[in-house]
Structure 1
Amino acid sequence: MNRGFLVYKCRKCGQLNKNTHVPNGTIALSCIICDFDFPKDWGVLKPGMTGVCNCSNGDLGITDLIGFELEKEEES
């Protein structure tokens, strides 16, 4: 399974946001792009193509979904 984080980039400040964890990147991106419902066992999660950024200078920016990043596996 390809667990990981959706990656959003702010149009205003350029900051990357990787705070949205999903159990499967392929399914998540497909559901977002095609506007499908997410699997019921994911709960009420409904990320979209855009979001809001709290820029470090206090401004608010618009973020765009730019991709998915695999969760790094911890070495034991």
Structure 2
Amino acid sequence: MNEAEAARLQFLLARLRALSDEHWHTFTASRRAMDDHAWVGGTSARDFARRLESSDSALHAELRKALGLVEDALRRA
């Protein structure tokens, strides 16, 4: 890997870390409100809570995956 590619990966890693820091808790407040029973509505509220939890988990998994891919590429450099 040349110097330009390594620099590009370093920039990408920094940007991914910033995005991760900014968006890691995107669903946290809503999810906590659901956990605290702040929202009511029977089955529709429970369905929404499940989708919210799923979205939260998916976001975290994708952020970890993106960071891991770039970190692995840098280690191979």
Q: TM > 0.5 between the two? A: no
**Which of the pair is proportionally richer in strand?**
1
**Which of the pair is proportionally richer in helix?**
2
Higher normalized contact order (CA 8 Å, seq sep 6+, divided by chain length)? 2
What TM-score, normalized to structure 1? 0.26
Larger radius of gyration: 2
